[in-house]
Structure 1
Amino acid sequence: MSKVTTGATMSLDGYIAGPQESGFDLLFQWYGNGDVEIPTASPDVPPLRVSAASAEVVTKEWGNTGALVVGRHLYDMTNAWGGRHPMDVPVVVLTHRRPEDRPEDDENFVFVTEGIEAAVARAKELAGAKDVVVNGGQMARQCLEAGLLDEFGVALVPVVLGDGKKLFGELGTAPVQFDGPVEVVEGTGVTHLRYRVKK
């Protein structure tokens, strides 16, 4: 059955990015510390080279994903991943206004201006029987607050960033309880954890 999930690589002190969009070199070291290559569909993103345990987690998650929901900030920050997301699935971009250079939606990017519920609904249409993955931060927070989120995964890395951006942003509905972890996988330089949202 299709699920709405989110996930992020996170520091031990709970940040998915450091101050002023820093710390990614530390957070994503595990993307290049292994022997198993995972190709990406983006011309701007090189293949991942991860441990066998991490590769099993990543390939399973990517294989189960039918569409993504991201915010305009990430879309702009990555320069639209060079035209195609690394996971090779359509991306729904939640934005206040669509980019001027994208007057129409295509098989790579769909733009939604009506809020998180509309963005998730559109992503579900695109995903079919597969899962919808919502980007961490503001998108994940909005999804959790709206009762749309089913699961989330954390790739926990052994680094402390001290400050920055949290997985669920400034959550307005705390505290929130979860079931799990329902999955624990030890990779090289990362521990993969998965939790279910208590409905």
Structure 2
Amino acid sequence: MTKVLLHTTMSLDGFIAPEDDSTEWMFGYGAAGSLGMETMQRLGAVLSGRRGYDLGNRPDDGERKLYGGMWAGPVFVLTHRANDVPDDPNVTFLSDGIEDAVARAKAAAGEGDVAVLGASLSQQCLEAGLVDEVVLHVVPVLLGAGVRLFGSGGPAPLRKIGGDGVGQITDLRFAVEGRG
């Protein structure tokens, strides 16, 4: 059964990006551990928000690929700007809402799972009850401000189902109670 995974790297104080949207803060603490590699191997599709897509394709930032270039499967981007999408043959842009976007990504994933990337999209999926698991790679840095992963949504009870660490990074895996 295809699962929907909220999958991201975050700072110890809960941010996935600092105020300047840089990514350098994530590196230098170790590589993906076995949980990170296992998660990537389980994936059949990726669903991202438009902000994350745009940040990953900023001019003059060099080439940025999902999962460090280790991802080659279907990518879906949910956007509110359906009339303003780039010509990107590697991405399917969707605008029919969160439930439709998750359903389309699940259908494309086949036997694999769907990774949800981005703070707003992750929060929307959690609030809609669409997330089965939360997989976090926690980097030992306090960013203090920026893009917070979890916002003001209601409680979401979790059950720890795995964890490990390589270098300074702590990998955590939780089932969303009542889902998976």
* TM-score interval (norm. to shorter): 0.7 to 0.9
Correspondences of 1:33-72 after superposition (within 5 Å) = 33=30, 50=31, 54-72=32-50
CA distance in 1, matches of 2:65, 2:16: 23
Determine the structure 1 residue equivalent to 2:166: 187
- The TM-score, its normalising length taken from structure 1, stands at 0.78
2:80 to 73, 96, 108: 96
User: Which residues of structure 2 form unaligned runs of 5+?
Assistant: none
Post-superposition offset of 1:21 = 1.5
Report the residue type matching 1:175 in the other structure. Answer: P
Q: Which amino acid aligns with 1:191?
A: T
Query: Which residue is equivalent to 1:15?
Result: 15
Match of 2:27 in 1: 28
The answer as to whether partners of 2:13 and 2:144 remain within 8 angstroms in 1 is yes
Classify the secondary structure of the residue corresponding to 1:152: strand
Tell me the secondary structure at the aligned position of residue 29 of structure 1: coil
2:118 aligned residue (136, 154, 174): 136
Q: CA-atom RMSD, angstroms?
A: 2.1
- What is the TM-score normalised by the length of structure 2? 0.85
Q: Which has the higher contact order (CA 8 A, sep 6+)?
A: 2
Aligned partner of 1:171 among 128, 139, 152: 152
Segments of 5+ residues of structure 1 without an aligned counterpart are: 34-49
Instruction: Report the 3-state secondary structure (helix = DSSP H, G, I; strand = E; otherwise coil) of the residue aligned with 1:162.
Output: coil
Is the CA contact 1:9–1:28 (under 8 Å) kept in the aligned structure 2? no
